């Protein structure tokens, strides 16, 4: 495309198919302890595959 550059992202709709396994890190355990950020976390399901 000439006018648009799309960054590589995970498609949320697709993630419904294999998501929800719960192996990922609990968001507050990472460093914050006062804020909830999940966008920065990795999917463990993908890593396992």
Binding-site ranges for another protein (CB under 8 A) = 1-13, 15-16, 18-46
List the Cα angle 32/34/40 in 5-degree steps.
40
Minimum CB separation of residue 13 from another protein in Å reads 7
Minimum CB separation of residue 2 from another protein in Å reads 6
Give residue 3's Cα distance to chain centre.
Answer: 27
Minimum CB separation of residue 14 from another protein in Å reads 9
Q: Determine the Cα–Cα distance for residues 29 and 24; give it in Å rounded to an integer.
A: 11
């Amino acid at each position: 495309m000439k006018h648009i550059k799309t960054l590589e992202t995970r498609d949320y709709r697709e993630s419904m198919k294999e998501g929800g396994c719960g192996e990922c890190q609990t968001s507050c355990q990472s460093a914050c302890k006062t804020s909830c950020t999940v966008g920065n976390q990795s999917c463990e399901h993908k890593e396992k595959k």
